[in-house]
Amino acid sequence: MKPTLLILAAGMGSRFGGLKQVEPVGPNGEAIIDYSIYDAIRAGFGKVVFIIRESFADAFKEKFDAKLKGKIEVEYVYQELHMLPDGFTLPADREKPWGTAHAILVARDVIKEPFCALNADDFYGYNAYKAMAKFLTTSKNENEYAMVGYKLKETLSEFGFVSRGICDSDAENNLRKIVETIRIVKRPNEIVSIESDGSETQLTGNEVTSMNNWGFKPSVFEKLKKRFTGFLENNIGNLKSEMYIPSVVFDMIDDNEAVAKVLEADSPWFGVTYKEDKPFVIEKLNALIARGDYPEKLWE
């Protein structure tokens, strides 16, 4: 059974200032998603599922349906704020999505096979998809998951703070701990995380970082449902609360419900967090095209 690619694209891109998921960055108007799907197809994935808001549907279908027809199976799933377990009511003032864990959870009815879940606006590189496809097609333990790790210094923006899940693994590459670090800033001679009280922690830049490239089995859905219910019980009144996948996976590991392998893939990573990142992304893609990694016209 071929694995599925689940693309998380329901976020609004508040720091970017627009629908960055379909922002053109390739020489013929390709978005980063185009490169993700292209790499997934050649790595052996058989289906792509877009998690979007219903208000994005027309823009996504216009962008992707025609070019992907006959190349890979396509599904759309809508992540809306009111999609809550029985017994919970959406707070009237809630505007922010419930987070990446909720995004994965809403896909449970269309995914019955091992799958890779990742961000729409991040470029992960072909080797990352190749490594993940190998894991998803060879791992026999239904409670064994995986993530592709990147060095922190390779994942920062020149134009503002970023949030990263910093990981610790054992000698067998089993994930032991994830620390969700919300405000990481790159300065001329240092990298620091800024705590809520304004204090700063020095980072080396070599920390292994989760960039939300995760491999799961269908067993994850029941675990997510249970934890999302608990999350709502404690946080539904907090209008900015989100349920992040790295933290949820760590909870599963801590509760002995899952193990997670940290996969190494010699792949570039770059993403669009701020509008100022876009020229850098275009430059990086053009260099990969010039090197022969991708055709100039991706879908021809």
Q: Summarize pLDDT for 243-256 with one digit per residue, the tens.
A: 989 889 989 999 99
Structural Rg of the chain based on CA atoms: 18
Greater confidence (11 vs 62) lies with 62
User: What top-level class would CATH report for the domain 4-290?
Assistant: alpha beta
What are the tens digits of pLDDT across the range 193-239? 998 888 888 999 989 888 889 999 999 999 999 999 999 999 999 99
Least confidently predicted of 59-68, 110-119, 148-157: 148-157
% of the chain residues with pLDDT over 70: 97
Indicate the average pLDDT of the chain.
91
pLDDT tens-place string over residues 163-201: 888 888 899 999 988 787 889 999 988 999 998 888 888
Q: Per DSSP, which regions of the chain are E strands?
A: 4-8, 47-52, 73-78, 115-119, 122-123, 144-151, 162-169, 175-187, 190-194, 200-203, 208-216, 259-264, 270-271
Residue 18 has pLDDT above 70, yes or no: no
Q: Given this model, what pLDDT does residue 14 score? A: 42
Domain ranges across the chain: 4-290
In contact, 63 and 72? CB cutoff 8 Å: no
- Confidence class of residue 160 from pLDDT cuts 50, 70 and 90? confident
How many angstroms from the chain centroid is the CA of residue 286? 23
- Quick check: helix, strand or coil at residue 110? coil
* Phi and psi, residue 4, nearest 5°: -110, 145
Beta bridge partners of 53: none
Task: Report whether pLDDT(19) > 70.
Answer: no
pLDDT tier for residue 12 given thresholds of 50, 70 and 90: low
At residue 20 the predicted structure's pLDDT band, cuts being 50, 70 and 90, is low
